[in-house]
Structure 1
C-alpha cells in the first residue's frame, strides 16, 4: 500500500484517533499509545493499529524509529524536537491554548450548528464527532505535506480542530468577512436572490434532491418528463431561457413546487435518477442506510467490512480501506 514504508506513533485521544486510522488504512504501521486511564476512543478507529500501554512504552525507542508522531499534548519524559527526523503533529481543540472543549462545543463555536436545521427550530447536530473528524483530516493533510518537505529534517505541524471546523463552514465566515452578515438556518430551502427553493423532495419510495434553478436545460428536461404524464401544469408554458428563477416571487415558486411535488410523489428514486442521468435534469436519489451498506458497487470495491465491536459484543459493518492501489512501496 502507498504508505507501507511509514511508522506512526498515535498518542492522541478521542480528538485525533481518526488521523492514525486514516494513515493505517493507507498502509502505514501505526502504534497506539493507550493512556493509563484506559482507551476512550472509538474502537473502530483503532482496529488497524497495534496498541501499547503508555506507562509501559519505551518512548525514546519508539520515537527514534518513527516517521510521524500524532499527539494532543506533551508526552512524559520526551521532547519530540529532540528527534531530528520526526514529523511532530500536535492536534488540539484550539490553537495556542489549552482551553477545554468537546466535539459539541467545537461544532457550536465554529458556527456549524448555527446553520444546521430549520429556521424556526433548535440547531441540528451532525451525527458522530464531526469537529474531531475534521481536525483529524487536517492533521493527516499536514502530516503528509510535512513528509513531502521533510528530507533529512523533522517538521512541526500544529492543527486546531476549531479552525478545521470553521474552514468546513466556508460560506458563513466568507459572508461575514465580505458582507458583514451572519447567515442562519434555512432548513430545506436553497436561498438565492430574492427567494428560496426546496432541495429535498419526498418521492414514492424515499427522497431525492433537486431544485428549481436558473438552468434552462435542466428545467426543460424535467418539464418534458412531467408533460409526458400530463402533470406539468403551469410549468409547461414557462420560457426558461428568459426568466430568472432567483428573482421570482416566493408565492410563484411555491405554486410551481406543489406541481413538482405531486409529480415526484408518483415516481421512485430509481426511475427519477435514471431519467436524470439520461436527460440531464440535475436530480440525485438519496440513499437510505441499507442502500449504502448493501450496494453492489460498494461491495465490489470493499467499501465496508465486518468488525467485532469489543464494546457492544456485536459484529458491525464499518468503512473499509480508504484507498486501494496495486503499487507496493518498499520500506
Structure 2
C-alpha cells in the first residue's frame, strides 16, 4: 500500500518533548513540533504570561506566542503543588527531551537544573537555552531580547554609525538561539538512539548571536578589524540599497574592491539607454580606491537610480537575474505573502487563531514525501491536560506488577 505524505512517519515521530521554556526557548519547541514531535507545553494555571503580550490576535493570544506555539499541546500544572510536581516527573519519564530557557539559579529553584534532571532521568536529553549559558559569571544575569542583542554584538552592526544602534524587529534572539539549540539537540537525540544515554545541551543565547554576525568574527580573526555600524549606504560603488519605482532593491556589483558583476551591470544600463552609462567602462572603475571613494559611490548611485526609478523591484530582480547579476528586492510583509516562489512552494499555512485565520510561516525545510509543519493552531491553556494525565495513569497501570 502506498502511503500519502500525511500518513508517512515524520522525522521526529515518537519523540516527546516537554517544553518548560520562556519566550527565549519557545521557537526551538516550535521547530520540534514542525518535525512531528509531541511537544507538550507545560503552563501554570492561567497560562504563561507570553500569551497575553500585545499585539493580540483573534482576541485570545499574542502574535508572537501564536507563532512559537503552533503545533504544541498544552498541559496546565501548578509546580508549587506536590501532586502536580509529581505529575511532571512522571511526564518527564515518558519523554526523550526537556526544553528549558532560564539561568541555572532559577532552574535549581524549580529542581530542574540539568544536574538534577539527568540524575533522575538518565535517558533524557535536556536542552537548556539560557541568556549566558549554565556556567560563568553572567550565568544568572537577567536579560531580554534587547540586552542579548547588545551582549551578542548584533547592535554594534545595526544602524547608522553616527546614530543610535537599531534593534532587529521581533524576538530575534529566540529565533537565533532556538535554531542553534534545535540543531544541537537533534544530534543529542541521534546519540540517544545509539547509546540510550541522555545528555545536556547547553546553549548560550549570547554565543549563538555572536556566531550569527555574518563575517564580523572572521574580520577580527583574520584581519584584526573590529566591524562597526556602516548604515545603509554602500561601502563601494555598485553595492548596496538603491531606490526604484516601488521601493528598494539590494545590488551586489562589487565586493572587497573587486568589480564582480561590473561588466554585466554596465551592459545592462547601456542596453536600456541610460544617459552617461558608458562612463562605467572607464579604467578608473577598476581601481579599488575610486570605487570605494565617496565620488565613485555617488556617481554610480546617480546613474543606477536614474535607470531604476522607472522600474519596479520585481522587474529589476527578474531582469538582473537573467543577466547573472546578484540583485534582490527588499520585500515588505505583503510582498512575501504574494511572493511567487513562496506561494508555489506552499510556504505559508492557514491556521485559525481565535476568530481570525492567519497565514503562518511554514518550517524552514522540506522532506521528500513528507508534509511537515505546524499541524494545529496554538492550544488554549490546558486543552490537553486531561488527555495527557489519563495517558500517564494508563501507562502506570500497565506497568504495575500483576498479583
TM norm structure 2: 0.73
Match in the other structure for 1:91: 129
Task: Give a deviation string over 1:242-273, Cα, whole Å, max 9, x none.
Answer: 82346533212312221111111122223222
Measure the CA separation in 2 of the matches of 1:252 and 1:77: 62
Distance 1:32 1:44, change over 3 A: same
Say which is worse superposed, 298-307 or 269-278, in terms of deviation: 298-307
Measure the CA separation in 2 of the matches of 1:275 and 1:163: 40
Measure the CA separation in 1 of the matches of 2:364 and 2:295: 46
Among 153, 156, 167, the alignment partner of 1:125 is 167
Contact conserved, 2:15 with 2:38, CA < 8 A, in 1?
yes
Contact conserved, 1:135 with 1:161, CA < 8 A, in 2?
yes
Match in the other structure for 2:91: 62
Query: Does residue 56 of structure 2 align to residue 47 of structure 1?
Result: no
Query: Does residue 41 of structure 2 align to residue 32 of structure 1?
Result: yes
Match in the other structure for 2:190: 148
Match in the other structure for 2:101: 72
Distance 1:111 1:286, change over 3 A: same
Count of residues in Structure 1 that have an aligned counterpart in Structure 2: 324
Give structure 2 stretches of 5+ with no counterpart: 1-9, 51-64, 79-83, 372-403
Distance 1:139 1:54, change over 3 A: farther
Note the 1:200-279 alignment, pairs <5 A: 200-213=241-254, 218-233=261-276, 235-236=278-279, 238=281, 243-245=286-288, 248=291, 249-279=293-323
Contact conserved, 1:172 with 1:182, CA < 8 A, in 2?
yes
Distance 1:293 1:170, change over 3 A: closer
Distance 1:178 1:323, change over 3 A: closer
TM norm structure 1: 0.88
Question: The residue matched to 2:202 in structure 1 has which SS?
Answer: strand
Following superposition, the deviation at residue 287 of structure 1 comes to 2.2
Measure the CA separation in 2 of the matches of 1:129 and 1:32: 19
Task: Give a deviation string over 1:118-156, Cα, whole Å, max 9, x none.
Answer: 122221111111112211111101110111222211111
Match in the other structure for 1:15: 24
Contact conserved, 2:21 with 2:99, CA < 8 A, in 1?
yes
Contact conserved, 2:18 with 2:95, CA < 8 A, in 1?
yes
Task: Give a deviation string over 1:183-215, Cα, whole Å, max 9, x none.
Answer: 221112343xxx566511111122111144166
Question: The residue matched to 2:346 in structure 1 has which SS?
Answer: coil
Give the RMSD, CA atoms, in angstroms: 2.7
Contact conserved, 1:7 with 1:66, CA < 8 A, in 2?
yes
Following superposition, the deviation at residue 36 of structure 1 comes to 4.7
Contact conserved, 2:258 with 2:288, CA < 8 A, in 1?
no
Contact conserved, 2:12 with 2:32, CA < 8 A, in 1?
yes
Match in the other structure for 1:184: 228
Measure the CA separation in 2 of the matches of 1:123 and 1:21: 30
Say which is worse superposed, 49-58 or 19-28, in terms of deviation: 49-58
Following superposition, the deviation at residue 7 of structure 1 comes to 1.0
Following superposition, the deviation at residue 176 of structure 1 comes to 3.6
Say which is worse superposed, 214-223 or 24-33, in terms of deviation: 214-223
Say which is worse superposed, 51-60 or 75-84, in terms of deviation: 75-84
Task: Give a deviation string over 1:212-251, Cα, whole Å, max 9, x none.
Answer: 4166562222222211232151544625798234653321
Task: Give a deviation string over 1:167-194, Cα, whole Å, max 9, x none.
Answer: 1124333334444443221112343xxx
Distance 1:208 1:170, change over 3 A: closer
